[in-house]
Structure 1
Amino acid sequence: MSRNIHTGRSLENPQSLQVGFVPLTDCAPLAIARELGLFSKYNLEVHLRRELGWATIRDKIIHGELDAAHALAGMPFAATLGLGSVACECVTGLVLGLNGNAITLSRELWENGVRDAKSLREVMTRLRGRKVFTFGIPFPFSSHNFLLRHWLSSSGIDPQKDVQIVVVPPPQMFANLKAGNLDGYCVGEPWNSIAVQNRIGWCADTSVGLAPNHPEKVLMVRSRFAADRATEHLALIASLIEACTYCDQPENADHVINVLSRPEYLNIPAASLRRSITGPFDFGHGRTEKVPGFQIFHRDGANEPSAEKAGWVLKTMHQTGVIPNRSLIPSASIPKVFRSDIYQKARNLITSVTNHEDKSKAENHTIA
């Protein structure tokens, strides 16, 4: 039986939630919350559901097949505006992490002399008219779209005219690079490290270098869920804040890696996860470097869905053209989507539950 999060009494029927995730390193807080019993601690019965990609996550949230999900930071805004889908008001009360992405290019580009965006432009100029360069991103409303376009533009490559940018689910990026369907991609880990370890690709840059401490993933729910099932929503966020804290502590890295490698989560070798979690990061071709903050789960104020983080998301969505008119989202609407108030209530819940546990332990010690 699970304990009531307010009174400590046992309950016969914990609430059941369907929570989706995409197999990426930054789904770690969801996996760890289950493995550590944090969902049960807050009287929740959570069923984690692995999904192929972000379009599936979005559609299942909108249509109520999922109650909550690991989602791209831009997805609550996109769903609320009806960009690429029917309109459905969504919110986030928790940022699950910062950074975590890289740009991976093909072995063929390396063999043709590409080492960075500037040399890529030189190769593209040489092969103009003979080859269409194709790059993958996991979703239009994502940091990856911005990061890739920003990297290309830095050398004078026009992302709109000079290359083709296509949407590919994260788990399919590596296979498409290997098959020659992609010349490169921007995606979260471990799909960059897998390309490097298999000598199929190499990393040209990371999101730390391109947009340090950008908001990457959030917990996304429908606004109606947040209102109608507020107690469960706060409990879910509280459990995940604790999990984020655990994931960010270096002494827990081996446990996090081993959990994520299991079949029900990422189903890949632990070695493919280690570089992005413990470092140094392997860029390929003998280049390994420490990349501080490559994956941030909790520190540096990561978890609060602040107005500043929301502003970054909206700015980049506008710059990539997926929000053609910035006035579509007035500033007053930002706190209705990125809900710092919900986050603060969840933090208060953690304090309340912790104090209750401490009191119970003290009472039990006295009795003993």
Structure 2
Amino acid sequence: MKDSMSRREFLKKSTLAGAAALILPSTLLAACSSNSSSSSSSNDGAATKKNKIKIGFIPLTDCASVVMAKELGLFEKYGVDVDVTKEASWAAVRDKLISGDLNAAHCLFGMPFSVYTGVGGAAGTELPIAMVLNANGQAITLANKFSQAGFRDLKAAKSAIEKIMAGRETTFAMTFPGGTHDLWLRYWLGAAGVDQTKLKIITIPPPQMVANMKVGNMDGYSVGEPWNGVGVRENIGFTHISSQDIWKDHPEKALVLNKAWSSQTEEVKAVMKAVLEASKWLDNLDNRKEAAKVIGHQAYVNAPAETIENRLLGKYDLGAGLGEHVYTDDYMLFHKDGSVNLPRKSHAMFFMAQYVRFGFLDQHPEYEKIADKLIMKDLYREVAGEMGISLPDDDMKPFQLKLDGAAFDPSDPVGSLKQYGG
């Protein structure tokens, strides 16, 4: 980017200034971008009004595109006045999106479908998805006592887990029923052949995972970074498998909207454009060190910048003496030339099919109708077109999961479940 050096200087200064200085006055942020706009509309497609917009986030590395859109002055560039607010749990995000206390949020891709189908909220409640924020970059951390399970060894994992289960209750944690972390955990257990009905699966907010593991509340957890990397750093567990090992380039977090605010089209589009520009910035690996410093501060993720940076770059210290694994093309991605950000109906349908598979739903939902209702695909296409971002043509086409080779055909979600047996 033409102004990359000035932004680099700005980020370093804001880092040194401490967490309180991360939310800078609008005049300083405007100075960081040569293309900053006023509150009136411009060639950037800026919104015409500056109503205060609140966007929530959970302290996870993949909140980066929302946070950096703020820190780089991109919301202001597109003419919207945005506050980004740290939230305590995914349940709190859900409730604030429903009530309107939040206009939008960095959110689990699966949450809107979980809520709408009654798995994780009041059935029929609509939380529209404007765009996908990132792919990949989650993991399953196991306590060190399971170290014989190694890295990505399903057979060894099954043996280690069942050995523990034979002697006592075994507990794993995820972050929200029917959310992405819940599905990665259950999908992995299913692929390993572990009987999930004999396990206890609990809900823990992401930033509390490491502390709960330390005091023995669970034997493993499924969560986003940096909390898997922090678990290794603090020697309370090891990274057994990453989410990209389960499903390469899977949808992870999404920009989810309050239903009423979703009709404020120009404001929504301006927010999306700012986040998309930040997503492009983040996929330049030269910028990830700077991003790690900013989001690592107490005001945001509150975790060591080095741990955040390493996993952002695909460098995984696995822990438990397992060495390092480097992901070369499937680390956390925020844009990937536009292939990340399109919200796909087929992915929505996959999540809902897994709800049936894992017993959350006792009958098949109206797959395509729900996906149409919750995914704002037409709006995303409009924004992408205005920004010159390419649109993938793979939606509603079959795709395959890496872990077990299972294929999902969105034209036949019911039939797609038959390959799992049972």
Q: After TM superposition, is the score higher than 0.5?
A: yes
Judged with a 3 Å threshold, the aligned counterparts in structure 2 of structure 1 residues 254 and 105 are, in CA distance, closer, same or farther, namely: same
Deviations 1:243-287 (A, max 9, x none): 111111112111111111122111211111022111321111242
Question: Which residue does 1:359 correspond to in 2?
Answer: none
Distance 1:70 1:61 in 2: 11
Displacement of 1:148 in angstroms is 1.3
Among 181, 187, 200, the residue aligned to 2:236: 200
Number of residue pairs aligned between Structure 1 and Structure 2: 347
Among 356, 373, 376, the residue aligned to 1:339: 376
Q: For residues 178-197 of structure 1, what are the structure 2 equivalents within 5 Å?
A: 178-197=214-233
Query: In the alignment, is the contact (CA less than 8 A) between 2:41 and 2:47 conserved in 1?
Result: no
Displacement of 1:305 in angstroms is 0.6
Distance 1:51 1:122 in 2: 38
Deviations 1:209-250 (A, max 9, x none): 1111111110111332212x1111111111111111111111
- Aligned-partner SS, 2:318: strand
| TM-score in terms of structure 2 length | 0.77
| TM-score in terms of structure 1 length | 0.88
Distance 2:299 2:156 in 1: 41
- Larger deviation, residues 9-18 vs 182-191: 9-18
Among 167, 170, 174, the residue aligned to 2:210: 174
Question: Which residue does 1:309 correspond to in 2?
Answer: 347
Structure number with the bigger relative contact order (C-alpha 8 A, sep ≥ 6) is 1
Distance 1:53 1:11 in 2: 30
Judged with a 3 Å threshold, the aligned counterparts in structure 2 of structure 1 residues 12 and 118 are, in CA distance, closer, same or farther, namely: closer
Distance 1:10 1:155 in 2: 49
Displacement of 1:45 in angstroms is 0.7
Displacement of 1:12 in angstroms is 9.8
Displacement of 1:142 in angstroms is 1.4
Given the alignment of the two structures, is residue 93 of structure 1 paired with residue 130 of structure 2, yes or no? yes
Among 281, 284, 287, the residue aligned to 1:249: 284
- 2:301 maps to amino acid: L
Query: In the alignment, is the contact (CA less than 8 A) between 1:98 and 1:214 conserved in 2?
Result: yes
Judged with a 3 Å threshold, the aligned counterparts in structure 2 of structure 1 residues 14 and 205 are, in CA distance, closer, same or farther, namely: same
Distance 2:46 2:74 in 1: 16
Displacement of 1:313 in angstroms is 2.6
Given the alignment of the two structures, is residue 109 of structure 1 paired with residue 134 of structure 2, yes or no? no
Question: Which residue does 1:264 correspond to in 2?
Answer: 299
Displacement of 1:100 in angstroms is 1.2
Displacement of 1:312 in angstroms is 2.7
Distance 1:324 1:282 in 2: 41
- Aligned-partner SS, 1:295: coil
Query: In the alignment, is the contact (CA less than 8 A) between 2:314 and 2:332 conserved in 1?
Result: no
Query: Alignment identity in percent?
Result: 33
Question: Which residue does 2:23 correspond to in 1?
Answer: none
Deviations 1:305-347 (A, max 9, x none): 1223323332333333334322x22413312211111111222
- Aligned-partner SS, 1:173: helix
- Aligned-partner SS, 1:219: strand
Among 104, 107, 114, the residue aligned to 1:71: 107
Judged with a 3 Å threshold, the aligned counterparts in structure 2 of structure 1 residues 128 and 144 are, in CA distance, closer, same or farther, namely: closer
- Aligned-partner SS, 2:192: coil
- Aligned-partner SS, 2:67: helix
Query: In the alignment, is the contact (CA less than 8 A) between 2:146 and 2:161 conserved in 1?
Result: no
Judged with a 3 Å threshold, the aligned counterparts in structure 2 of structure 1 residues 7 and 270 are, in CA distance, closer, same or farther, namely: closer
Q: For residues 18-37 of structure 1, what are the structure 2 equivalents within 5 Å?
A: 18-37=54-73
Given the alignment of the two structures, is residue 80 of structure 1 paired with residue 116 of structure 2, yes or no? yes
Distance 1:203 1:171 in 2: 17
Question: Which residue does 1:38 correspond to in 2?
Answer: 74
- Aligned-partner SS, 2:381: helix
Judged with a 3 Å threshold, the aligned counterparts in structure 2 of structure 1 residues 33 and 134 are, in CA distance, closer, same or farther, namely: same
- 2:71 maps to amino acid: E
Structure 2: runs of 5 or more not aligned:
1-36, 390-422
